[in-house]
Amino acid sequence: MRLTYLDNNATTQPDPAVVAEMNTYLTDVWANPSSAHRFGQRARLGVDTARQQLANLVDVDANEIWFGGGGTEVVNTNIRSLLAGRGERKKIITSTVEHNATSELAKQLARDGYNIVTIGVDRNGELDLAQLITEVDDETALVSMMWANNETGVIFPIEQVVAIAHGAGVPFHTDATQAVGKIPVSFRQAGVDAATFAPHKFHGPKGIGIGYARKGIRVKPLLHGGPQERGRRGGTENVPGIVGSGKAAELAKEHLKDIPRIKALRDRLENTILRTIEDTHVNGSRIHRTPNTSNIGFAQLQSEAILLLLSEQGICASAGAACSSGSLEPSHVMRAMKIPEAIAFGAIRFSLSRFTTDEDVDHCLSVLPGAIERLRKVLPVSV
């Protein structure tokens, strides 16, 4: 059976060059990078090279990059680190459409006594900047918002958000996991104080999270142990994962030139679905979004049923966030956008990558109309 993978916001195929780079450090250069001998220093060189490659991708200095065990860990570390320097301020501002890595941490911080304020979005998933301006004040400890949404691809105006936060003397963190590697990103130009991203979203390995903290920001370790990562994260570095991440970053920067091709494929898939299948709706802005993502609502259907039929034909997509798959309820993102339930229940996320081909799109378009027609005859959603 042909595999058509259209779930790249969940994770991406590791690039073969990344796998080859990692294999070298699994089989040949397997020393501890903290060891003083020459063998250990070969591993250290691999870590240092990767740090520079990742810094180049997001336009920062190499010593501002640090490595964690995944994006969720890095989000937790970055946010807690920024809060540690804010004294008695207890107000945290985020958005209603954040990934669980941020929203679940916010719930825990609320239990710890913080006041969590969530900024809403409109029907297109666009951030309510007027509300943000009203909420940022001298009681605010931190603003943390995603760069791009994992379900809709909608891109927030990060430079404007940073300006609002900094105008009130408030630090800003961004979860840039769905932006880095898909669009040009400069943490330096945006002026963010801390940021998080993950290489498995741009054809690198899982189990690695990349942290950025600008000069002057002290990263308070979530995991205490040895002096690794300049005291920012204890534990022996995952050298194969780190060098694979660096190689993935190098390739991602090179392949930003593929954005127009990926966008054209996405648009062909989306426009054909809208034209050939009745009662379909794009969820989220069609302008301010990442070039690889299309979230389409198939009215009066359940997303799980659609995904099952697609999967039977080798087509991989998602009902929004992979981390919350299995739920029979519309996602918190769809609810925050106030998408009508008849559409939100049938929301499917198609997300492409540089490995997506015309044949992949053709395969999906050959299967999807029949699947939708079949389901509408037998499984209308009850709302």
Given a contact cutoff of 8 angstroms between Cβ atoms, the answer to whether 339 and 283 are in contact is: yes
Among 96, 68, 355, 354, CA closest to 198: 68
> 182 CB contacts (<8 Å, ≥6 apart)?
148, 201, 202, 259, 290, 291, 292
Spatial separation of the C-alpha atoms in residues 140 and 149, rounded to whole Å: 24
- Of 323, 358, 370, 373, the catalytic one is 323
Pairing status of strand 4-5 against strand 194-197: unpaired
Q: How many CB atoms lie within 10 A of CB 164?
A: 19
Q: What is the sign, positive or negative, of the torsion defined by CA atoms of 280, 284, 290, 293?
A: negative
Strands (E), 323-383: 347-351
**How many angstroms separate the CA atoms of 264 and 259, rounded?**
9
Distances, alpha carbon 42 to alpha carbons 72, 78, 159, 340, in Å: 29, 29, 39, 56
Cβ atoms 365, 269 nearer than 8 A: yes
Bridge-based pairing of strands 91-95 and 140-146 is parallel
CB contact set of 254 (below 8 Å; sequence gap of 6+): none
Q: Which two tokens stand for residue 81?
A: 């680190």
Contact 33, 377 (CB under 8 A): no
Residues 15, 212 contacting (CB under 8 angstroms): no
Identify whether 323 is a catalytic site residue: yes
Q: Tokens 């949404």 label which residue?
A: 149
Neighbour tally for 279: CB within 10 Å: 14
How far the first Cα of the chain sits from its last, in Å, is: 35
C-beta of residue 223 within 8 angstroms of C-beta of residue 66 = no
Residues labelled catalytic: 323
